[in-house]
Amino acid sequence: MPRRSWWGPALLCVLLTLTGCTDANGGVAATSTSTSLVPPSSESQRSCDPPDDTTPVSVSPVGSLGRDFSVQSFDGTELRAHWFPNPEATVDQPKPTVLMGPGWSLAGSTDVDQSSILGSIDIHSLLDAGYNVLTWDPRGFGASSGTATVDSPDFEGRDVQQLIDWIATLPQVELDAERDPRMGMVGGSYGGGIQLVAAAIDCRVDAIVPIVAWHSLQSSLYKNKTVKVGWAKVLSDASIMSNIDPHIRSAADSAMTGGTLSDEDLQWFVDRGPGHLVKQIEIPTLLIHGTIDTLFTLAEAVENYQILTSNDVPVSMLWNCDGHGVCLTDPGDPNRAKDAAIKWLNRYVAGDSSVDTGPVFDMIDQNGKRFIADRYKPRMDDAFKGQGSGTLAFVASGGAGPVDPASATGQLVAGIAVGITPTRAENAVETAITADRDALVVGEPEVELTYRGTAATDDESGRPTRVFVQLVDEKTGFVIGNQITPVQVTLDGREHRIEVPLEVIAHSLSKGDQVTVQVVATTVAYAQPQLGGKIEFTKIKAALPIAEWLKPAK
C-alpha cells in the first residue's frame, strides 16, 4: 500500500459523495447525498490509498445521549465508540478529527473536562482547538466485546482502521480523500501504544502524539530477563473483570510464582509490537515521556525516537515528571505536555505551518527547569566517575523500596505506584560519585562490575540470579528518576566481569553534589531473585554521562 509522501504536492480538492452517514449531532441519519470541498494544506495533505482489507461500516446508536455508538469491527467485535463533533463543524465547514485511546483496562473517555489518565489532554481542549474527537473502548474493555490482545496490529490495530472508515462517513469530518479523514491521534500508555501500531499499518493517520508508550514489551516488562513483578500485578489486577488473552494471565501467574516468563508467553508479548513496526511510521510523531516512569522507562521513547530519526521522520521528544510512577520532585509547568500536543496537531493535522512546535528535544530536570536541544544526542563524551567495592548478602530484608505513601498525595497513578517504587536500600554495596562542576546528566549511566559469588546450595526455587543497581541523589535522598536496573549475575564462585547500561535518567548536579551507586539484592520493582549466599564485588566502576549538548530554555 503506497505511503504518504512529505515532499509530494497537495492534491486537488475532492468532490465527495457521502451515503449512510450521521446527522450534525452524531446521530444516524437516513441515506443522503452531501458534498464537501476540502482545500488541501501543503503540509497536511498527502497521497494515501486506504487499506482494502476493511469491512463495510456497520454502526448503531446506543443510549439517548447521541454520542455513543456500536461500531462493528472486521471480526464482528462490537466496539463502543464515543463521538464528540466540534460545535462549529458542518457539512460545508468540516473539521479535522482526533482519536484518543484510553489506558490499559479503561473505557474511552466521555467526560469532556477530565484529562485522561497519563494523557494530560482532555476532550474539551481538543474541541476548543478546532477538532472533532472520537474516543472508544478498546476490545475486551468497557462496553466493547472481543478479547484484549495488547494493541496487536492484527486486532486492535484493525479496530482503529474500522473506526477511521466510520468517521470518514460523518458530515462534520474533513477529508483528504474518499475514506481518508484528516486526523491525528493522542492518548497515554495503552492509548499511546495503539498510535504507534495504527500509524505503522494505516497511512490515513496524519500525525500522532504517543504519551508514555513503549517500544517493546520485552524490554519494558522483562528488562534483562527479569519480570517487573510490581507492575505485572497492577496490570493484571486492573483487568481482572475484563476479557483478556490467556497469555496475559499466564504471564502474570508465572511472574508472581517464579519470577520468570515461559518462552511462549514472552514471544506472544514480543509479537504485540510496536517494535519493528516503528520502522514503518512515516508521519510526524511527538513522543511525550516521563522521567519517573518505571513501567515504560525513558529508554522506550529513546528507542522509538532513534528509529524515526534515522528514517528522516519529523519527530520531537518531550520529557516531563509524569507517567507510570511517582513524581517526587518539582514537576514544572503542568500544562507543558498538553500545550505541546495541541501545537503538534495544529501544525501537522490542521496544517497550520505558522505554528512553532518547539525544540526537537525538550526535557525538565528534578528542579522543574527546562533544557532543550535540536536533537537528542545519547553519548558518553564526558562523565562523572566513581569506583568502589564490597560484599552483598542475598537476603530479602533491606531492599530498595517502597516509597512512603504520603509522597503520592494528589497523584492518581502515583497512588498505585508507591508500593512498587524503589527507595534507598539498607542492604547495599555503595560507590560514591562526586560532581566536580555544575552539569546536566542525561542518558544511560554505565556500570562495570567485577565479581564472584555463590548461591544457596539448597535453593530449588528456579528463580533467576540477579542484583539491582540504582542511583541515589544525596541532596534529596531519592532514587534518581525512581529507576533501578536488574543485572544478571553468574554465581559459580568464579570471577566475572560485566558492563551494563542503566536506565536513562535526566538530572542536574551542582559542583560538590554526590550520587551514590547502590548495588542491592532485592527491590519492590522486580521479581525476587534467588536468595541465600553472597556476592563479592572486587571492583565497581560507574560513569554518569554529562550532556553538554543541552542548553537551558529561555
Q: How far apart are CA 170 and CA 258, in angstroms?
A: 51
Under 8 Å between Cβ of 442 and 361: no
Give CATH superfamily name and number for 59-212+273-373.
Alpha/Beta hydrolase fold, catalytic domain (3.40.50.1820)
Give residue limits of the domains in the chain.
Answer: 59-212+273-373, 219-269, 383-552
Amino acid (1-letter code) at residue 393: A
Q: What residue spans of 135-262 are helical by DSSP H?
A: 156-167, 190-201, 217-221, 229-238, 246-258
In the predicted model, is pLDDT for residue 15 greater than 60? no
- pLDDT band per the 50, 70, 90 thresholds, residue 87: very high
Q: Are 94 and 36 in contact (CB under 8 A)?
A: yes
- Of the listed ranges 56-60, 119-123, 177-181, 296-300, the least confidently predicted one is 119-123
d(CA 526, CA 421): 10
CA pair distance 29, 69, nearest whole angstrom: 13
pLDDT tier, 19 (very low <50, low <70, confident <90, very high otherwise)? very low
* pLDDT tens, residue by residue, 266-285: 999 999 889 999 999 999 99
Q: Are 106 and 154 in contact (CB under 8 A)?
A: no
How does residue 117 score in pLDDT terms, banded at 50, 70 and 90?
low
Mean pLDDT of the chain: 90
What is d(CA 138, CA 155) in angstroms, rounded to the nearest whole number? 10
Scored b (16 or more CB within 10 A) or e, 196-233 reads bbbbbbbbbbbbbbbbbbbbbbbbbbbbeebbbbbbbe
**What are the tens digits of pLDDT across the range 230-260?**
999 899 899 999 999 999 999 988 888 888 8
In this prediction, residue 40 carries a pLDDT of 42
Fold that domain 383-552 belongs to in CATH:
Jelly Rolls (2.60.120)
Q: What is the pLDDT at residue 457?
A: 65
Residues 6 or more apart whose Cβ sits within 8 Å of residue 523: 399, 400, 401, 422, 425, 468, 470, 484
pLDDT tens, 418-460? 999 999 999 999 999 999 999 999 999 999 999 999 987 666 6
Question: For residue 461, what pLDDT band results from cuts at 50, 70 and 90?
Answer: low
Distance (Å, rounded) from C-alpha 362 to C-alpha 374? 9
Whose CA is closest to 83, among 167, 204, 161? 167
